[in-house]
Chains A and B, each alone.
Chain A
């Protein structure tokens, strides 16, 4: 591609050479853990795919209690490639969450959150929360019996918070029970409110990463620094990995289309052994551990408080871990990270197998 006149035209208006220099100056450290740098890029790529497939589905989905379930069945049975894009959106969401967790635990165990990158961690953590809410709200749009039970439990669980629980529950449900109002509300969250917040936060997250540059793990800081340019070396590697992810995604979408359960019925009991999406299983198993009442207090409230406390601590780890902030090794927080990771993995496995 060589259009000298267009180039000149742009050059007169914008500092293209300056931008080129800026792009060339972006260097990425090279070391034995640099594979972890790609997890963020993969998540970004999956987010872009989710936006595109989501826009397509929004052209046909009807967010109304009487038509929602039917409209999805029509998308997958009557529309050109409807089955494929719905399946792609489903599996894209699953993989997004998988890579978000890999990205999160990679960042945690390598302490990339340490000073001065606390806000990179904060924005990323909020994005994880939003993604999980994306998952929950997107799942309800199916309006099948499993989604109905899952949302009742999730919003009811939020209602068990002391003091503000009632407000959160009412705000999420838009009604005292999970009804058509909830469906419409979750649709608004899923297609308008959350995407806008996501765009802003992803932008900020990436901007902060550019500002700070890539973090090098503490254990490697003594070693000789090797760096490669982002353009074109790392960029091309990013693209090739994205291609592999696309391959995996399309394979999953074609071979394992997600099921559509029976339409939700507020009178019917949920199906036997109903389970939420896999990233809620560890929460479900945790809730099961608590008896109905502990020393006269509501066991559910205690469980929710403990889970919320654990998540809050996780969120604030960069501010608690003073040792790594000073550039020293911090084995205590490595252990805390390993405990969180093991708890998540074991409880998810227990939930999956039981």
Chain B
């Protein structure tokens, strides 16, 4: 069937064409700019390898810090001598927490959050316990890993 009149005017056709061209060009440009501006993110490490010697003479009821990606991990010897590794970052707003030996608790100075010596959140705003990491020893190496991660060391 042939219509006797046109459904769109020549002006509408051209406006749509130019408008579409305009939108397509600038959204493409914007996309490319944003793609560049957004970083290619690294990820949190699955495990870190430390020197076992550095951690053997730790006194009871104290911590030793180690770098965990861009943040901090704690190698923690409880008052009763049990060993624990935790991520030393508050689950509330990501401040580093500190260990208070007198109270036997972890403390976040940013918003006054407290965790007990097992990392459980006990008072203040933190919504979750501190993340517990898994310790394995291999000869002179001390490997601290996220829970449930299979550690594969590169062959030396």
Measuring CB to CB, which residues of chain A are less than 8 angstroms from any residue of chain B?
Answer: 149, 152-153, 156-157, 167, 170-171, 173-179, 181, 266-274, 284, 287-288, 290-293, 298-300
- Asked if B93 contacts A269 (CB within 8 A), the reply is no
Does any Cβ of A come within 8 Å of B92's Cβ?
yes
Query: In whole angstroms, how far apart are the Cα atoms of A152 and B121 in the complex?
Result: 20
Known: A157-B93, A292-B127, A293-B127. A269 touches B98 (CB 8 A): yes
Contacts A267-B65, A267-B72, A288-B125; is A175 near B94 (CB within 8 Å)?
no
CA A206 to CA B130, docked complex, whole Å: 51
Given contacts A269-B88, A272-B109, A273-B109, list 12 more A-B pairs with CB under 8 A: A149-B95, A171-B37, A175-B41, A176-B43, A176-B70, A177-B70, A267-B65, A269-B96, A269-B97, A287-B111, A288-B111, A293-B127
CB within 8 Å of A: which B39-59 residues = 39, 41-44
Inside 8 A of A272's CB, which chain B residues have their CB? 109
Q: Are B42 and A290 in contact (CB under 8 A)?
A: no
- Chain B contact surface mostly: loop
| B136 adjacent to chain A (CB < 8 Å) | no
A156 to B94, CA, bound (A): 7
Which residues of the other chain, A, contact B112 by a CB distance below 8 angstroms? 288
- Which interface residue of B38, B69, B94 has the most chain A CB atoms within 10 A? B94
Instruction: Tell me, yes or no, whether B147 is within 8 Å of chain A by CB.
Output: no
- A267 with B109: in contact, given A174-B39, A292-B126 (CB under 8 Å)? no
Q: Mark B101-121, 1 if CB is under 8 A from A, else 0.
A: 000000001111000000001
A303 nearest in chain B by CB position: B125
Is the pair B67, A267 in contact by a Cβ cutoff of 8 Å? yes
* Cβ distance A320 to chain B, nearest Cβ, rounded Å: 31
| Interchain Cβ contacts within 8 Å, total number | 92
What residues of chain B lie closer than 8 Å to A298, measured between beta carbons? 127
Residue B71 at the chain A interface, CB threshold 8 Å: yes
Across the interface, which residues of B come within 8 angstroms of A268, CB to CB? Answer: 65, 72, 96
Contacts of B125 in A (CB 8 A): 287-288, 290-292, 299-300
The verdict on A292 contacting B128 (CB below 8 Å), with A156-B94, A179-B70 known, is yes
Output the least CB separation between A82 and chain B (Å). Answer: 31
Beta-carbon contact of A149 and B110 below 8 Å: yes
User: CB-CB < 8 A to B65: which residues of A?
Assistant: 267-268
A323 CA to B43 CA, complexed, in Å: 53
User: 15 A-B contacts, Cβ less than 8 Å apart?
Assistant: A152-B95, A153-B95, A175-B42, A176-B43, A178-B70, A179-B70, A266-B71, A266-B72, A267-B65, A269-B95, A269-B98, A269-B109, A292-B121, A292-B128, A298-B127
With A178-B70, A270-B110, A292-B128 in contact, is A300–B38 under 8 Å at CB? no
Chain B hits for A171, CB < 8 A? 37-39
- The residue among B37, B44, B125 with the most chain A CB atoms within 10 A of its own CB is B125
Write the chain A residue with the least CB distance to B99.
A269
Determine whether the beta carbon of B41 is less than 8 Å from that of A176: yes
CB of B98 to closest CB in A, whole Å: 4
Residues of B within 8 A of A284 (CB): 111
Which of A181, A271, A299 meets B109, CB within 8 Å? A271
Residue among B43, B44, B65, B70 having the largest count of chain A Cβ atoms under 10 Å = B70
Is A176 touching B44 in the complex (CB atoms < 8 A)? yes
Asked whether A267 lies within 8 Å of B96 as measured between CB atoms, the reply is yes
Residue of B nearest to A193 (CB): B37
By beta carbon, the residue of chain B nearest A153 is B93
Q: Is the CB of A300 within 8 A of B96?
A: no
The answer to whether A175 touches B70 (Cβ under 8 A) is yes
Contact in complex: B93, A287 (CB < 8 Å): yes
Residue on B with the closest CB to A166? B41
- Is A300 a contact partner of B93 (Cβ separation < 8 A)? yes
Residues of B50-84 at the interface with A, using a CB-CB cut-off of 8 Å, are 65-67, 69-72
Interface core residue of A175, A272, A291, A292 (most chain B CB under 10 Å): A292
CA gap between A38 and B136 in the complex, in Å: 67
Q: Is the CB of A270 within 8 A of B109?
A: yes
A176 to B72, CA, bound (A): 13
